[in-house]
Amino acid sequence: METIDFNKKIYCIDNIKKTAEEFKNLSDISVKEIGGKIKVTFDKIDPEYKDVIKDEFANFVLGLMG
Amino acid sequence: MKKEKGFAVLLKKNDNLLEFKINPKIYTLNAIYKTAYFFLDKVYIFLDGDPKKEIKVTMKSKSGMGELEKVASEFYNELLNQLLREKVSYTNAKVREFIVAKALYNAVPNEVDELLKEVEEEDWQEDPLGIAKTWEEQQAEKGEKSKKSKKSRPSLTPSLKLRSTKKLRPMKKKGKK
Amino acid sequence: MLDLNIIEKFDWKNIGFFRFKKFDDKDYLLTNEVGNYVFLPEADFKKFISGKLSKKSAAYKELQENMFFLSNRKYAPVLISKFSDKYSFLQYGPSLHIIVVTLRCNHKCIYCHASAVDTGSKEFDMDMATAKKIVDTIFKTTNKSVAIEFQGGEPLLNWPVVKFIIQYAKEKNKIEKKDLQLRLVSNFSVMDNEKMKFLMDNEVNFCTSLDGDEETHNYNRIYLQGNSFQKTVEWIKKINEAYKKKYKGKKRNYYRVGALITVSKKTLANYKKVIDTYIKLGFKSIYLRYLNPYGFALSATEKIWYTPQEYINFYKKSLNYILEKNYNGKHFYDFGAVTYLAKILFGHDLNNLDMRSPCGAVIGQLAYNYNGDVYTCDEGRMLAKMGDQMFRLGNINENTFEQLINNNLCKSICLASSTHGLPGYNDDVYQPYIGICPVYNYSVYKNIFQSSTNNVKYQIDKAIIEYIFEKLKNRKNKDIFTEWVKKSKPLQYLKTYTK
């Protein structure tokens, strides 16, 4: 299991949810708001993408913010 | 790269990971987003920090080939470009709205009439967010609650004045007032 | 490079909206909302943004003439007028109507043999009732100009329906009084004197597929009943001769057969021979556009495909070769370059529908399949041939014209292909010239709103525009480019698309 904590003041939850939808075939993904953070949890990650999924996910979200 | 105002390389963790901090009072969060957008194909980027105080950027190499300091330097150049673009866009937003509305007037007369009516209700010459001011001016104003007179746009051309308005503002969607 | 002190001194009172980029070691390139451009050395650029540029300097005058100063008294009136002209197409409805009268074809071209239908399969022909409904629908467009283009398959294989549509459209136009243009895109393999006479008598324009010299053409376009190149060339010559006779001594003597090329891997290597063949046959232009990744057989990939960089290199070499011909007094141009140049030099959009923002899908063109299915554009129809009906608007027998036009698909495509406001495109110095094809985005990236990052078409378009600007820095080239736009046949033809 892997997690990313996005800062709510910087990242928009709608974009994180959209990204989770795009990445759903690569992993089980949950998105939860905890305090000032948006916690994204990746479970059952496609082994082929295990090393890059967190970074790719964060880049995808940032692409939607621009 | 050398230290630039409001932009500093914080820590080079290793060849594949670099962190730097940006002063969001000089470089807006929006400019940082747009700058980051241009580098997404080259590096992984993660943002953290406080948009009112300091933004921390973590940059990770995709290829594992390093050269992150060079990319950080390019990032800074692009950040400056974005800052200028932001100023150009912001200070011209209302004039652009006006030009587009007038240019396409015949296509949608009712909507443009509404727009022109709306813009007449608001002072477009103001600079409420102070985007046209320098960082020093903003800081100075914060301290002394500036007594400076408002800066304003030059007058519109005579022909433009006759046709419409002293004031313009960005278009609003119906029902969102 | 810029520095913060300069930016903080931004002369916001006087400077109008512009986009910019560091173009090369020496200059910045600036463009404004209507496509005017100026190259500024870095020192002048810094002076410009900080309001320090001398009013007596040449740079200041150039910026002033090209509407970069808000303080210019003509700024708003000129920009309103030019913007209105540039986007005038938004005020009209679809003008280009592509009718696929049959899917049957007698060629087995390497790039589309999977979707071509055997000549005996008449169930893939359009029937008269469908043809009539299509013409009735076409005339409901709000555009004063109507261009009906016959495509296929090979349209002449369903000659009775082609003939009927021409006659019915002309008859209907006696009442509707549109500016009606008729065009046939054919490989000419089943053309005969009778058909040619009928088409010329009814002022139908001819366009054919010509992939260049005999070797390249016949490699791509396989015709089992003969030599495709020779057949095509024979009719190009014959029709052009007939035009000469018909319009001898008259003003309207600019008619000649038009040609479309499909740039395949073979073209890349043979670019000189391809261009020479076009010139030898009397064509004034060629359209060296990148191959669309749909409507083709996957098995043909290796034979036809090339990398984006290979294409860009090919385009640059071809443009240089064409310029050389012009240096030697031959007027010949690339239509893609002219499309960009018309926007760059004249602020005029030629309405090349897939190089426009928003693109021409639905609001500029509609494509009608043999069975009455209606698509946003020909690209959407080609994608449907591969089994994806994403861009199908409806069917002529089931939907009204309003339903075909006023729907969420149309609105989404307009949004997705409008470069204003889209990340990456919006800030691009080339924004005034670039176009987006949502069908391309969807077919390659499965998203009509594909971002500019890593978007191959965007990278190619940008590279081409950039190269054109590089060439524009040379005065001699600029004069030639200006002549291309002024003399271009498309300018005379496509003008009607905007009215």
Q: What is the pLDDT of residue B12?
A: 67
Give the best residue of A15, A61, A62 to mutate against chain B (max B CB count within 10 A): A62
Band of the pLDDT at C472, cuts 50, 70, 90?
Answer: very high
Structure tokens at C316: 């640059």
Q: Which residue has the higher pLDDT, C424 or A14?
A: A14
Select from 3.30.1360.10, 3.40.50.300, 3.30.565.10, 3.40.50.2000 the CATH code of B2-93. 3.30.1360.10
The mean pLDDT value of chain C amounts to 91
Residue whose structure tokens are 């009608």: C368
Question: Closest partner residue to B44 among A9, A59, A66, by Cβ?
Answer: A59
As a whole number of angstroms, the distance between CA B29 and CA C348 comes to 36
Q: What is the pLDDT of residue B66?
A: 62
Please give the DSSP secondary-structure letter assigned to residue A30.
E
- Single-letter amino acid, residue B136: E
Say if the Cβ atoms of C73 and B96 lie within 8 Å. no
- CA-based max dimension of chain C: 75
Q: What is the pLDDT of residue B125?
A: 46
CA distance C16 to chain B (A): 6
Give the best residue of C5, C9, C50, C84 to mutate against chain B (max B CB count within 10 A): C84
- Average pLDDT (C406-414) is 94
Q: Is A57 on the interface with B (CB under 8 A)?
A: no
Please give the angle made by the CA atoms of B3, B4 and B10, to the nearest 5 degrees: 50
Structure tokens at B30: 């929006």
Q: What is the pLDDT of residue C142?
A: 92
As a whole number of angstroms, the distance between CA B102 and CA B110 comes to 12
As a whole number of angstroms, the distance between CA B32 and CA A3 comes to 24
Give the model confidence (pLDDT) of C319-370 as tens digits: 999 999 999 999 999 999 999 999 999 998 888 888 899 999 999 999 999 9
Band of the pLDDT at B75, cuts 50, 70, 90?
Answer: very high
Give the model confidence (pLDDT) of C139-156 as tens digits: 999 999 999 999 988 999
**3 state DSSP class of C329:** coil
Q: Is A66 on the interface with C (CB under 8 A)?
A: yes
CB atoms within 10 A of CB C404: 24
Q: Is B48 on the interface with A (CB under 8 A)?
A: yes
Show residues of chain A in contact with C423, CB under 8 Å. 63, 66
- Average pLDDT (C242-248) is 88
Show residues of chain B in contact with A55, CB under 8 Å. 44, 46, 60, 62
As a whole number of angstroms, the distance between CA C333 and CA C17 comes to 32
The mean pLDDT value of chain A amounts to 95
Tell whether the model's pLDDT for residue C466 goes beyond 90.
Answer: yes
Band of the pLDDT at C54, cuts 50, 70, 90?
Answer: very high
Say if the Cβ atoms of C91 and B136 lie within 8 Å. no
Tell whether the model's pLDDT for residue B8 goes beyond 80.
Answer: no
* Most confidently predicted of B153-162, C158-167, C294-303, C490-499: C158-167
Band of the pLDDT at C110, cuts 50, 70, 90?
Answer: confident
Residue C127: partners with Cβ closer than 8 Å, 6 or more residues away: C161
Show residues of chain C in contact with B37, CB under 8 Å. 423-424, 451, 453
CA distance A6 to chain B (A): 8
Show residues of chain B in contact with C9, CB under 8 Å. 134
Say if the Cβ atoms of B40 and A62 lie within 8 Å. yes
Band of the pLDDT at C453, cuts 50, 70, 90?
Answer: confident
Which has the closest alpha carbon to C185: C135, C212, C149? Answer: C149
Q: What is the pLDDT of residue C353?
A: 83
Band of the pLDDT at B160, cuts 50, 70, 90?
Answer: very low
CA distance C423 to chain A (A): 6
Structure tokens at C113: 């043999």
Show residues of chain A in contact with C424, CB under 8 Å. 66
Band of the pLDDT at C301, cuts 50, 70, 90?
Answer: confident
Tell whether the model's pLDDT for residue B162 goes beyond 70.
Answer: no
Which has the closest alpha carbon to C17: B148, B26, B99, A14? Answer: B99
Q: Is B45 on the interface with A (CB under 8 A)?
A: yes
Q: How big is the A-C interface in CB pairs under 8 Å?
A: 5
As a whole number of angstroms, the distance between CA C269 and CA C288 comes to 13
Tell whether the model's pLDDT for residue C383 goes beyond 70.
Answer: yes
Say if the Cβ atoms of B154 and C80 lie within 8 Å. no
CA distance B157 to chain C (A): 5
- Beta C96-100 vs C37-41: how paired, if at all? unpaired
Q: What is the 3-state secondary structure (H, E, C) of B37-48?
A: HHHCCCEEEEEE
Residue C333: partners with Cβ closer than 8 Å, 6 or more residues away: C284, C285, C286, C322, C326, C484, C488
- Average pLDDT (C82-105) is 92
Q: Which residue has the higher pLDDT, C134 or B126?
A: C134
- Average pLDDT (B110-123) is 53
Give the model confidence (pLDDT) of C174-222 as tens digits: 999 999 999 999 999 999 999 999 999 999 999 999 999 999 999 999 9
Category of C424 on φ-ψ map: left (φ > 0), alpha (ψ -120 to 50) or beta: left
Q: Which residue has the higher pLDDT, B15 or B109?
A: B15
Tell whether the model's pLDDT for residue C406 goes beyond 50.
Answer: yes
User: Cα–chain-centroid distance for residue C3?
Assistant: 40
- Average pLDDT (A27-40) is 96
* Most confidently predicted of B146-155, C120-129, C179-188, C241-250: C179-188
**Full set of structural domains in chain A with CATH:** 2-65 (3.30.70)
- Chain B: residue nearest C18 by CA? B88
pTM greater than the 0.90 cutoff: no
Portion of chain C with pLDDT greater than 70, in percent: 95
Say if the Cβ atoms of B49 and A63 lie within 8 Å. no
Give the best residue of C449, C451, C452 to mutate against chain A (max A CB count within 10 A): C451
* Integer angstrom CA distances of residue A36 from A29, A32, A39, A59, C428: 19, 11, 10, 20, 35
Measured in degrees and rounded to the nearest 5, phi and psi for residue C386 equal: -90, 5
Which has the closest alpha carbon to B19: B57, B68, B70? Answer: B57
Q: What is the pLDDT of residue C352?
A: 84
Say if the Cβ atoms of A59 and B45 lie within 8 Å. yes
Q: Domain boundaries in chain B?
A: 2-93
Say if the Cβ atoms of B134 and C3 lie within 8 Å. no
Burial of A42 (0-12, 13-18, 19+ CB in 10 A): buried
